[in-house]
Amino acid sequence: MHNGYINEFAAIKRDLILAVDPSLYPQIQGQADTEVLFYLCVTNAEGGTM
């Protein structure tokens, strides 16, 4: 569980979102850093590249 803060997340958010598999992008519901990181992990677990 993540209850912290990612410094300067806004500065890297766009790059991280672009690294998420396009088929998963519509499932991102909110603006939370943890949600973006979760879908980035799912992307990489499914064989995507970062």
Question: Per residue in 1-50, pLDDT tens?
Answer: 556 678 888 899 999 999 999 999 999 998 888 899 999 999 999 775 55
pLDDT at residue 17, as a whole number: 94
Please say whether the beta carbons of 42 and 19 come within 8 A.
no
pTM metric for this prediction: 0.76
Asked if 36 and 12 count as a contact pair (C-beta separation under 8 A), the reply is no
Chain centroid, CA 20 distance in Å = 6
